Structure 1
Amino acid sequence: MIKAVIVDDESLARRGLQLRLKQFDDIEVIAECCNGKEALQAVAEHQPQLMFLDIQMPGMDGFDVVKSMQGDNMPLVIFVTAFDQYAIEAFEVHAVDYVLKPVEEERLEQALVRARDYLQKEDAISDKKRLMDLITHITGQHPTDLNTDLKADSPAKAYPEKIAIKDRGEISFVKTQDIEWVEAAGDYMCIHANGEVHVLRSTLKQLEGQLNPTHFQRIHRSTIVNMDCVEKVCSHINSEYFLVLKGGARLKMSRSYKDKIKHFL
């Protein structure tokens, strides 16, 4: 089941969408919210996989809700609104889809197909981790260790000691060893280093390729952490964990990446 939350300040709109979603057996609406504050509380409490989010709401609008959610527990977002002028901005914050009111059943089904595709990609990552565990169980070695002999004759990849960041015509350099953690925010990366946040236009995959995996590991689809900065590991619900860094940052490690880094902890 895909756990979903409906966020709309109009009760009739929430009710209508919930009725349409009942025809889909794999969608479970676990909360209805009438404003942005309730939406953030619902995400923190229920950890839904999908959110149907109105844009124009009093106080905190739909875009404010997206910007306020932490990247490590952010559900997939389908905007549901009566206004089409926000479509470009919606996809800039990486919405799964943008559905206009009144919601047509065919259009809603198309949006759900896209959401399922996103979630299945995450499941594929989990399947790969289970396969790696099986290899470890059979051989007594971690899969990365099995490749050691194959890579022994290959030259080691050189990783940059500094990351160049362009800002308003200036270029500053951040030492990779000073980077504590990185969080994706759309097409930009928020690099946390020495108590400061540097914004880099890049994808998480591109930046990950520049960081030495001996020290930097992905712990979530939107988060990379410097393992040397991890001070404490705290268990959480649903077999998830929080990593507490030396600087005080508290990052959630998703189940998909738990097995990948457990040999570092």
Structure 2
Amino acid sequence: MKISTVIVDDEPLARKGLAIRLAEFENIKLVGECKNGIEAVSLIPQIRPDLVFLDIQMPGLNGFQVINKLKELNQPIPLIVFVTAFDSYAIKAFDVHALDYVLKPVDEQRLKEAIDKVTINLQIKQQGGTNEKLAKLVADFTGDDCEDILRKLANGETLTSSSYPEVLAIKDGSEVTRVPVVDVQWIDAAGDYMCVHTADKTHIMRRTMKELVGDLDPKKFVRVHRSAIVNIKYVQKLVSHISGEYHLILENGEELKVSRSHRDSVKQMIKS
């Protein structure tokens, strides 16, 4: 499968360097180059490439504006891999549904990883309607382990019907930390923020308790009171006190009070 590809970058040396790198991949067919965003908006609808390596900071129209302009013109958006010298754009790159994001100067291994991801994605698209849900998951990247989903489909493995993400994407300034849900021991609220506790670190994310509860599998996580959720996997025991209060003891020694309104559901989870 040849992947028709366009390079968009206002730096001639950057375009030439990437073209040389891409020539090493047998499945990449370079079909066009653009020196700015305006040229890209004109060329992409004409030749409809499978893939665009898109610089972000360009005169006229930047990379994000190119995508927005194509949407305004009701043009199909090819797979986008952003290539830029500025890592501060990482979060926004995924917000506009980029498949991947690599930094200049482009590392050889990192470029290979990006092309592998593109290849798998295109293979899945060719499989037709049965994978529409997956394609949406990949396009709407919000923290799910999309690469794992793509790998399973490519290998013919069965996908579970669970809509719960396997990874929490936690934004911190210009960085995004991917925390496996299975490693989350418990979560508690601190004002407008949520503290996500793993064995070795506490991550801070700006989400409401209600939003977070909706993303966690109720068969694995139980709410113990208004401002705390616990991964039942890490519960060592449930202790009742003379006062009538119940407390959960986690494997790490953490002790959490169970409120009256959540006592029955906690007991049920402990017994099951």
| TM-score, with length taken from structure 1 | 0.47
Higher relative contact order (CA 8 A, sep 6+): 1
TM normalised by structure 2 equals: 0.46
Rg comparison, structure with higher value: 2
